[in-house]
Amino acid sequence: MPEPKTGASLFEPPVGISSARNIQEIKGVIDPGAIDGNSRLAIIMRGLPGSGKSYWVRQFIQELPARIAQNVTERGLCSTDSFFYQNNRYCFDIARLPEFHQLNLSRFIEALASGVPVVICDNTNMALWEFAAYQAAAKALNYRVHIQQIGDVRSKTHQRKCAKRNKHGVSLNSIQRMASQFQRN
């Protein structure tokens, strides 16, 4: 089983995203400074590749108290993409996608069960069924669930920007196909 890539190396700001704006958006939804070791918050990210999901997560984690931020980065940050890294290189293999989604869900549930104060699912989650198990597990373990959508998935302008800035070479056609499958909360 591949080891998931973790930590700050996963995050680089996408072109055209203002960190100040994102920090204000984060604080408007959840106050990171109010999170402590007793908090129980699950964040489920939604958005197209290249929309800025991982950047939003990075900005959120930077606003947490240092001890909590380290715990979240090491144990509570769950991204299926992290399993596709080999020797710090992203190597997508569609045949392994179901396996890696299951591994990511298992890691998410383990983080919840061990009481990590903030647990984050950083996947695209276009369809509701894609994050239903994450949401159900979090609720079952008494975590407050926050769904964070990044960008207007249906916007053609947004789709083009995502195609240009995503780090994994996802084509505009693939992004448009993903957008057409998007289901609202």
36-181: CATH architecture:
3-Layer(aba) Sandwich (3.40)
Amino acid 34: pLDDT: 82
Nearest to 121 by CA among 18, 1, 20, 41: 41
Average pLDDT over residues 17-35: 60
Q: Which residue has better confidence, 107 or 90?
A: 107
Nearest to 57 by CA among 7, 3, 16, 132: 7
What CA–CA distances, in Å, run from 16 to 10, 12, 51, 59, 174? 18, 12, 10, 15, 21
Cβ atoms within 10 A of the Cβ of 21, count?
10
Residue 164: pLDDT band by 50, 70, 90 thresholds?
very high
Amino acid at 6: T
- The owner of tokens 């997560």 is 57
How many Cα neighbours within 13 Å face the side chain of 181? 16
- pLDDT tens, residue by residue, 106-133: 999 999 999 999 999 999 999 999 999 9
Inform me whether the pLDDT recorded for 20 exceeds 50.
Answer: no
pLDDT at 139 over 80: yes
Nearby residues of 2 by Cβ (< 8 Å), 6 or more positions away:
83, 84, 85, 86
Q: Which residues contact residue 5 at a Cβ distance below 8 angstroms, ignoring those fewer than 6 apart? A: 82, 85, 88
At 19, the pLDDT band (50, 70, 90 cuts) reads very low
Q: Which residue has the higher pLDDT, 179 or 92?
A: 179
Nearest to 63 by CA among 29, 12, 26, 116: 26
d(CA 61, CA 81): 18
Q: Helices 97-113 & 128-140, crossing angle to 10 degrees?
A: 20
> Is 154 buried (19+), middle (13-18) or exposed (0-12) by CB count in 10 A?
exposed
pTM of the prediction? 0.85
What kind and span of H or E run contains 100? Answer: helix 97-113
